[in-house]
Amino acid sequence: MTLDPTVLARIQFAFTVSFHIIFPTTSIGLASYLAIVEGLWLKTKKEIYVQIYRFWLSIFALAFGVGVVTGIVLSFEFGLGFAKFAQIAGPAIGPIIGLEVLTSFFLEAGFLGIMLFGFRRVGPKLHFLATCMVALGTLLSASWILSANSWMQTPDGVVMTNGKLVVVDWFHVVVNPSWLYRWPHMITAAYLTASFLTAGVGAWYLLQRKHIAFGRQTGVLGMLFATVLIAWQVFLGDLLYGRMLQYQPSKMQAAEGFWDEQSSSPAPYYWIIAPDQKQQRNRFALGTPYLGSLWLTHSLRGRVRGLKNTPVDRQPTMAMVFYGFRTMYIMAMVMFGVATASLWLRWKGRLYSSRTFLRILVWMTPAGIIATLGGWYLAETGRQPWVIFGLLKTADAVSPVSAHELLSTLIAFICIYTVFMTAFLVFLLRRIRLGPADAPAAAEASGSLKNAIRPQVRDHAVVHAPRAE
Amino acid sequence: MDLPLYSALFLAFSLTMYVWLDGFDLGVGILLLVQRHQAIRDHMVDSIWPIWDGNETWLVMTGVTLLAGFPLAYGILMPAFYIPLIAMLLSLGLRGVSFEFRVQREHTRRRWDIVFGVGSLVAAFMQGAILGGLIEGVPVQNNEFSGTAFHGFGLLPVLSATAVVAAYLVLGGGWLFLKSQSILRGYARHVIYVMVPAFAILFTITCALSAIRQPGIRVAWQHHGVGLSVLCALMGVAAFAIVGTARRERHLIPLLSGFALVGIGLGGFAWIVFPDIVPFRLSLWQASSSHLSHVFLLTGVSIVTPIILAYSGYAYWVFRGPTPEKGWGS
C-alpha cells in the first residue's frame, strides 16, 4: 500500500487542529462569561453569582487545560508536517504568533493561577482583575491567530524574491483583507458556544427539578446572550460571505454546490449533493427551488456561479467545503429559531415551564461547537489546494518526513487525544451531575480550585480575612 | 543594527527561561513516580499547579521565535527531530491534563499521578535527546533536512537525555526544598544529595563523548579552551553550592544555584555553537527571516517582555512561601 505523505500530513493537522479548536472556543466564551458573572457578583453581592462562577470556573479550568496542551502541539506542527510552509510563511506568520504568545499566552498563564487558586490571597477586586485579564488574553489570542490564519487566506503586505518571502508592510500583513471580518465572526462563535453550553446545562437542571435557582439564572443569562449574539452573528456571517466571494471565489463556488459556470435559472438552494470532482458534476442533488436565486442573488431568477469558473488544478474538493458550510449554516438557522422561540416564551412568561423548550435547549448544548467546526472546515478546505492562497500549494509545503512516520504519529495522536476527550467528557458530565452545590466536597483532598473559593460561599467575611495562611 | 543577532539572543533567553522554569516543574513531576505517599504527591503537585502553565509558555515562545526569526532553521529542525518532538509534545499533553484530571476522583488519582510522572519523564528525556541530536549534527541539503527518522537515536542522545533528566531532578529538588516543610523538605534534600553527583557524572561523560563525536566541539575547545574551562569550573562551584546550602536551612539558594548550574551549561553550549542556529550547519544570518520580521518581533519583545516578567513575578509572589499542607484554598 502506498501512502501519500501530503494526505497524511493534512489529516494529522486537520485532526489535531479540529480537536484543539473545540477547547479554546469554549474557553474564550466561558472566560468572558465568568468575567461578567464575577462583575455581577461584585455589584450585587448575590450569592447565586458566586455559585455560578464557581461551577463554570471548574469547567473552564478543564477546557482551558486541554486547550493549552493541544495548542502547544500546534506551534510546533507548522514545522513538523509542513516544513516548507514554515520556511516560506515564517517571516509573516511567525512574528504574529510570536506577538500572540507575548501578549496573550503569558497573560492568561500569569493570571490563571490567581483566578483558580488566589481568591483568598488577593481579595475580590484583584481576583476580578485576574478574571478579566484571562478573558482579555483569550480575546487577544483569538485576534492574533485569526490574523495569521486570515493572512493565509488573503495574503497581503509581502513580496516573493528568489523563493523567499519578504515582508514589506506590516500593517497590511496583520490587517489583511479578511481579518477584520473573520475575527469578530470567530469571537461571536465562541460566545455563542458558551451561551448555548450554559443555557443547556441550566435547562437540564430545570428538567431534573434540581438546583432550580442556579438553573434559572444560568439559563436566563445563557439564552439572553445567545439571542443577541445569533442575530449579530448572522449579520457578520453575511458580511464575511460577501468578502470571501470577492477574495476567494473558488471557495464560495464550492460552498454552494454548483458546477456549471452559470447555474440554471432559477437556481435551487442545495441541501444534499453527491459531487463527482472528476466529472465536474453532481451525481445527485437535492435542493429547494428558487431559494438559491433568492438568497444568493437577491432576485427571483438570478444565476449562481459554479466551480467550473475555477481551473481544475485550483479547485478545492467540493464535498468538504459544501458540507462544512451547510453544517454551520443549518446550525445557525436552528440557533436562530431557538432564540426566537425563547423571546416568544419569555413574552408569554413560560420560559422555565415549557419542558419541550428546555429539552431542546439540552440538545442544543453542543450547537456552538458543531457550527464552529463546520465553519472552520469551510474556511480551511475551501482554501485548498493552497496553503497560502495564491502563493503556495499545500502539496509543495509538506515536510521531508516519510509516510510511515506520519502514519505512526497520527495513530499516536488519535490514541492520546481520545484519552483526553474521554476523560474530559467523563469529568465534565460528572461535574454537571454533581451540580453546583456538591462541587466543593468532591475535591477536598487536594488544593483544587473548588476549595480555593469555597470559603466565601459560607461566609462573606472570609473574603476580607488576612491573606497569610 | 544586527537584528538577527538580537532575535537569537531573545531565543536564547526564552530557551533558558523554559529550561529553568519548566525544568523544575518537570523534575517535580518525575519525582511523583518515586514518591509513595499520596498526601505528599498531592502536596508536590499543589506546589507547581498555579505556575506550570506560565512556565510551559516559554517553550511555545522558543518555538515561535525560531519560526519568526529563523524560519529556515525551524523548517530543518522540526522534521529532523520529528519523532522525539512529537513524543515530547504528547507527553507534555498527558502531563498537563493530569493536573486537572487527577483531582476529579479519589480512586483514579494514583493512575493520573503515574501518567503525570511518565509524561514528565518522557518529555524531559526527549528534550535531552534532541540536545544530543543537535550536538551530533543534523544532515542538511538545500536548506532541507535530509536524514531519516532515526538519525538522532544513538549513545550520545541517550546520554544527554539522562543528563537533562538529572538536571531537571536537581531543579525539582531545589524547588521542593524551597516550597515545602518537614517531611517533604527532608525528601527534597535527599533528592538533591543523590541527583547533583549523578548529574555531574552524566554531564562529564556526555561532554567527553560529544567531543569525540563532533569535530565542531573539538574546534571550539581549541579556540576558547580557557573560557570553556572556566565555565566548567563555575558549574562545579554551583554544584557544591547546591549541596552545601541544602545541608543548612538556606531555602532559596539551592534552587538559584541549580539555575546557575543549568544556565552556565546552556551558555557554554551556546558559546560552542555560535554563530550557528542549526549547530555546525547553518549560521543565524543564513537562516534569518526578512528584516521587517525581526523589527516587528523585536519591537513586541522589547515592549512586552518586561511587562510579562513583572506580572509573572507577581503571580509567583502571590503563591510565595511554603505550599499549604491542604492546598492553596486552605
**Which residues from B are below 8 Å from A8, CB to CB?**
none
B150 has a chain A CB within 8 A of its CB: no
The three-class DSSP label of residue A401 is coil
* HSE-CB for A209 with a 13 A CA cutoff: 1
DSSP letters for A322-353: HHHHHHHHHHHHHHHHHHHHHHHHHHHT-TTT
**Which residues from A are below 8 Å from B292, CB to CB?**
91, 166-168, 170
Residue B145: the pLDDT is 85
| pLDDT interval class at A333 (50, 70, 90) | very high
- pLDDT digit string (tens) for A370-419? 999 999 999 999 998 999 998 899 988 888 888 888 999 999 999 999 99
**Contact between chains at B68 and A94 (C-beta distance less than 8 A):** yes
**Contact between chains at A95 and B53 (C-beta distance less than 8 A):** no
State the DSSP H helix or E strand holding residue A391, giving kind and residue range, or none if neither.
none
**Contact between chains at B78 and A113 (C-beta distance less than 8 A):** no
Q: What value does the mean pLDDT of chain A take? A: 86
- pLDDT digit string (tens) for A14-42? 999 999 999 999 999 999 999 999 999 98
**Which residues from B are below 8 Å from A446, CB to CB?**
42, 45-46, 102-103, 327
Q: Please say whether the beta carbons of B135 and B214 come within 8 A.
A: yes
How far apart, in whole angstroms, are the C-alpha atoms of residue A35 and residue A40? 9
Q: Is the pLDDT of residue A441 over 50?
A: no
Q: Please say whether the beta carbons of B156 and B92 come within 8 A.
A: no
Domain spans in chain A, listed from the N-terminal domain onward: 5-252+317-464, 258-305
Lowest average pLDDT, out of A144-158, A388-402, A418-432, A443-457, goes to A443-457
ipTM for the predicted complex: 0.89
Q: Please say whether the beta carbons of B112 and B98 come within 8 A.
A: yes
Q: Which residue in chain B is spatially nearest to A165 when comparing CA positions?
A: B290
**Contact between chains at B79 and A430 (C-beta distance less than 8 A):** no
Residue A438: the pLDDT is 57
Report how many Cβ contacts below 8 Å link chain A to chain B: 283
Q: Please say whether the beta carbons of B280 and B273 come within 8 A.
A: yes
- Tens place of pLDDT for every residue, chain B, 330 residues? 789 999 999 999 999 999 999 999 999 999 999 988 888 888 888 888 888 888 889 999 999 999 999 999 999 999 989 999 999 999 999 998 888 888 877 788 888 999 999 999 999 999 999 999 999 888 888 888 888 777 767 889 999 999 999 999 999 999 988 888 778 888 888 899 999 999 999 999 999 998 888 888 888 888 888 988 999 999 999 888 888 888 877 788 888 989 999 999 999 999 988 888 888 888 889 888 888 899 999 998 999 888 888 888 888 888 877 777 777 765
- pLDDT digit string (tens) for A190-226? 999 999 999 999 999 988 888 888 888 888 888 889 8
Q: Count the residues in chain A.
A: 469
Domains of chain B, each with CATH number or no CATH: 3-318 (1.20.1630)
How many Å lie between the alpha carbon of A405 and the closest alpha carbon of chain B?
Answer: 7
> Which residue among B145, B146, B327 sits closest to A448, beta carbon to beta carbon?
B327
Q: Is the pLDDT of residue A440 over 60?
A: no
State the DSSP H helix or E strand holding residue A316, giving kind and residue range, or none if neither.
none
Q: Is the pLDDT of residue A257 over 80?
A: yes
**Contact between chains at A72 and B93 (C-beta distance less than 8 A):** yes
How far apart, in whole angstroms, are the C-alpha atoms of residue A311 and residue A249? 12
How far apart, in whole angstroms, are the C-alpha atoms of residue B193 and residue B187? 10
CA-to-CA dists, residue B128 to A430, B64, B152, angstroms: 39, 20, 11
Residue A118: the pLDDT is 79
The three-class DSSP label of residue B105 is coil
| pLDDT interval class at A188 (50, 70, 90) | very high
Closest C-alpha to B254, from B327, B185, B316: B185
Residue A224: the pLDDT is 87
Q: Please say whether the beta carbons of A223 and A351 come within 8 A.
A: yes
Closest C-alpha to A201, from A190, A225, A224, A217: A217
Which cell numbers in the block locate residue B234?
563555575
Q: Which residue in chain B is spatially nearest to A69 when comparing CA positions?
A: B93
- pLDDT digit string (tens) for A338-369? 999 988 888 888 877 888 889 999 999 999 99
How far apart, in whole angstroms, are the C-alpha atoms of residue B242 and residue A251? 61
Beta bridge partners of A458: none
The three-class DSSP label of residue A286 is strand
Q: Is the pLDDT of residue A462 over 50?
A: no
| pLDDT interval class at A451 (50, 70, 90) | very low
Beta bridge partners of A305: A262
Eight-state DSSP code of residue A116: H
Residue B196: the pLDDT is 92
Beta bridge partners of A386: A393
